[in-house]
Homo-oligomer: A and B are copies of this chain.
């Protein structure tokens, strides 16, 4: 099926923000064998918008119009689409009540213009916004379909996944689908991982293998085209087995939404273990990442941020002389942080992070030098040194440290 994506927004046209919505949607459409061959960006300008929508609507069976559903004067998308399709907009009274209610609950003043966000294309269906205010629209006429989606990426992605994809799945030939599966890896350079995967999947040429670098994972997608679902599943199982047995050290789970943090929280819960942490360069990011997972309270009570050496002494009781002897960025300090935090919180697992986030060096060590300590019940404390690229920058060094820490826990616990 041919599709077009029209992104609306002066801020995108001016290059003030980068359009990540269109590529997200394109990847999702790809799983259904739908290619959006034309992807256009235009400013918040009614005349131009109407013109390009009319052209796309005539040309293509499936048109997406993205962005410009806010309550302000430059949010002209819904009206523009309605004019182009020669229809009007319609108020969803239930949603409008909900918007009013939600402003009230948040004790914020609502503007009369917010009513725009409760409107959708007359003759079409409203699309629910799982994480925001503005409704989307789904409109069909004479075999053509037009979908209106909100601009903020969180809202856009949620609406695509929860409202749009189920509707599209019912339109495509599901007997000859694309069947795909995502495997998640961490801690291996993409080119090396893909070379090694290629070497073990040489004979599996009906499985197309692609990789996507995500912030906290390399996602490897296995795709089978034009096969029955049963056959496709067999092929995927086969490929998955070959890949995981080669890359088991770096593999952590299946699925687009799989994260190391969620995997670790679930594994800890399964084992009935509680965890704590003492964080220096990560400054609370490890604990915050654990708490981002619903149900974290089953495995985490609390812990320590010990950014300065003085805090390592006052909060954890680490002897200042140990730090002076080995340095704050050392296996010994990381191990002590892990062990002391575990003792002080009276829990099973303790992890310690110490290192150089940069931009400056510390104790003569370059930015990106990190030690992680991991104390587990009835086991010698493990330490690991990371050499992260200084060029990736302070935030990324901290983020990667957290991910490597999670990986250490995962590798230790799954045994």
Contact = CB atoms under 8 A, between A and B. Distances in A.
Interface of A: 10-20, 22-28, 30, 35-43, 45, 48, 52, 70-74, 102, 105-111, 113-114, 130-132, 152, 154, 189-192, 194-195, 210-213, 221, 277, 279, 281-288, 290-292, 294, 296-297, 300-308, 310-312, 314-315, 345, 357-359, 366, 368, 387-389, 391-396, 398
A356 to B, nearest CB: 12
Contacts of A312: 302
Contacts of A36: 13
Contacts of A24: 15
- 3 closest A-B pairs by beta carbon, nearest first, are A283-B291, A284-B284, A302-B311
Given A132-B391, A284-B291, A300-B307, A191 B345 contact: no
A30 B15 CA distance: 9
A308 B297 contact: yes
Interface core residue of A48, A70, A291, A311 (most chain B CB under 10 Å):
A291
Given A24-B15, A301-B310, A48 B42 contact: no
A20 B23 contact: no
B37 A45 contact: yes
Contacts of A70: 190-191, 213
A265 to B, nearest CB: 12
B37 A39 contact: no
Integer count of this chain's copies in the complex: 2
A26 B110 CA distance: 35
A107 B73 CA distance: 60
Contacts of A212: 11, 16-17
B107 A152 contact: no
Given A39-B42, A154-B393, 10 more contacts: A11-B212, A15-B27, A16-B212, A18-B23, A38-B52, A106-B368, A107-B387, A111-B191, A288-B288, A300-B307
A169 B301 CA distance: 53
A290 B395 CA distance: 11
